């Protein structure tokens, strides 16, 4: 008996029997599978008493032959019988391409999943805010535990390094507001009111709002990526093991830096926007800088400045909290870092705009128009 598998066909009258010998394995199968497929007769039995060894491939060949011809297996070792039975039990048709789901049901399913995810995220943010409040109260009771160096280091990330891009963006926004406002107001011979438009819209709304959006894109994403990477490398778990609170060491310094720096960045952005708008008025509308500044003093109430400065720290806290929350949700693999960073930016901008709308209604109701 050789190691390679072989088949012998015995014909006893009208009854045919196929005897298989050798090793029914991937290495020893040879052309037995092709020869069995080429058999034109339908034998009554397939004798496996001469099989030395069988693996899954050999069992599949025998099982396929039995299903095609209806032959009965005889002489098989108990282990071979169990392997053939296992192959038979796991054999099923596999659909290469799944049928696309019914389009309306798929849309409804996606809407439902999005609603559930939004609700879970909202609950998570509320719970995270509660943890921030508790940690903040602990720090208020023990001021020595405040990590001043960490807060100052975040000042550079949130504030100093953002001055260039925020300044450029604000300067261009001021020019755009002035240009678009002047084009419309010139139709009524009221281009001098462009100064009013620039002063009030930048001081009250766009200065702080655009700064918050830029900080969400820069700092919020950075917070999420930093904490997400630390979560993957188990640094946060190590901090908990040695008794260091991640909330006090990682989250609160970032939130404090954002809350403190946002009013300063908002005021800086407002000032640069006014400079950009004033430059356009000087060049295109021939409004001298002195006249421009005097007009600003006349038309901008002090409440507009307070509205912008009061909204700024709230925006800063929301941006930092959202970035840290999403960063701490990272788990599994590095792809999660990118997904949670994107989610942090989107959620921060969404919450900033929602809060800005709330503030607009609130300040209007109390008479700060």
pLDDT in tens, 53-79: 888 888 888 888 888 887 888 888 888
138/38 Cα distance (integer angstroms): 82
State how far the Cα of 363 lies from the Cα of 307, in Å rounded to an integer: 8
User: Is 335 in a helix, a strand, or coil?
Assistant: helix
Name the burial class of residue 146, with classes exposed (0-12), middle (13-18) and buried (19+) by CB atoms within 10 angstroms of its CB. Answer: middle
Tens of pLDDT, residue by residue over 269-285, are: 999 999 999 999 999 88
* Helix, coil or strand: residue 7: strand
For the residues 308-337, what does the mean pLDDT come to?
91
Domain 6-90: CATH superfamily, name plus number: STAS domain (3.30.750.24)
* 3-state DSSP assignment of residue 314: helix
pLDDT digits (tens, 9 = 90+) for 154-208: 898 898 899 999 999 999 999 999 999 999 888 888 888 899 999 999 998 899 9
Number of separate helices (H) and strands (E) present in the chain: 15, 4
- pLDDT digits over 10-58, tens only? 776 566 788 888 888 888 878 878 887 777 667 778 888 888 888 888 8
Q: The sheet that has 15-24: what strands, in order across it? A: 6-12, 15-24, 45-54, 72-74
Give per-residue burial for 25-52: e unless 16+ CB within 10 Å, then b.
Answer: beebbbebbeebeebeeebbbbbbeebe
Confidence of residue 1 (pLDDT cuts 50, 70, 90): very low
SS3 369: coil
Pairing type for strands 15-24 and 6-12 reads: antiparallel
Task: Please report the pLDDT score of residue 96 as a whole number.
Answer: 60
Q: Does 321 or 192 have the greater pLDDT score?
A: 321
- 214 close to 166: Cβ distance less than 8 angstroms: yes
Which residues, 6+ apart, have CB-to-CB distance to 165 below 8 Å? 214, 218
Q: In whole numbers, what is the pLDDT of the chain averaged over residues?
A: 87
pLDDT band at 94 (very low <50, low <70, confident <90, very high): low
CATH 3.30.750.24 domain position(s) in the chain:
6-90
CB atoms within 10 A of CB 303: 15
Better pLDDT: 67 or 129:
129
Residue 314 phi/psi, 5-degree rounding, is -65, -45
- Give the least confident one: 104-108, 199-203, 264-268: 104-108
Average of per-residue pLDDT across 94-108:
75
Consecutive H or E run containing 209: helix 207-215
Q: Quote the Cα angle for 274-275-279, to 5°.
A: 115
Question: Mean pLDDT over residues 98-119, rounded?
Answer: 85
pLDDT above 90 covers a percentage of the chain that reads 46
């Amino acid at each position: 008996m050789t190691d390679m598998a072989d088949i012998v066909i015995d014909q006893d009258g009208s009854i045919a029997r196929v005897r298989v010998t050798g090793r029914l394995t991937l290495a020893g199968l040879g052309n037995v599978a092709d020869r069995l497929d080429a058999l034109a007769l339908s034998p009554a039995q397939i004798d496996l008493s001469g099989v030395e060894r069988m693996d899954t491939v050999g069992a599949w060949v025998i099982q396929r032959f039995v299903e095609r011809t209806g032959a009965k297996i005889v002489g098989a070792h108990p282990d071979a019988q169990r392997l053939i039975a296992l192959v038979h039990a796991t054999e099923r048709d596999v659909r290469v391409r799944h049928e696309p789901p019914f389009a309306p049901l798929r849309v409804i399913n996606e809407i439902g999943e999005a609603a559930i995810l939004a609700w879970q995220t909202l609950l998570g943010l509320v719970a995270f805010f509660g943890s921030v409040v508790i940690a903040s109260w602990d720090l208020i009771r023990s001021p020595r535990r405040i990590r001043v160096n960490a807060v100052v280091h975040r000042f550079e990330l949130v504030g100093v390094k953002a001055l260039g891009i925020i300044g450029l963006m604000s300067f261009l926004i001021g020019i755009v507001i002035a240009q678009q406002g002047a084009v419309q107001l010139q139709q009524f011979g009221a281009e001098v009111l462009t100064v009013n438009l620039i002063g009030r819209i930048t001081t009250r709304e766009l200065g702080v709002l655009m700064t918050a959006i830029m900080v969400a894109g820069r700092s919020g994403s950075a917070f999420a990526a930093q904490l997400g990477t630390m979560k993957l490398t188990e640094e946060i778990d190590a901090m908990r093991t040695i008794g260091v609170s991640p909330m006090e060491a990682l989250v609160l310094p970032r939130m404090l830096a954002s809350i403190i720096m946002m009013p300063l960045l908002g005021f800086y952005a407002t000032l640069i926007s006014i400079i950009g708008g004033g430059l356009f008025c000087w060049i295109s509308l021939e409004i001298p800088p002195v006249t421009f500044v005097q007009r600003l003093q006349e038309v901008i109430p002090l409440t507009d400045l307070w509205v912008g400065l009061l909204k700024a720290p709230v925006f800063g806290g929301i941006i930092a909290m959202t970035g840290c929350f999403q960063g701490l949700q990272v788990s599994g693999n590095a792809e999660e870092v990118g997904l949670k960073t994107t989610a942090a930016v989107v959620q921060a901008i969404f919450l900033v705009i929602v809060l800005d709308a709330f503030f607009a209604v609130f300040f209007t109701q109390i008479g700060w128009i």
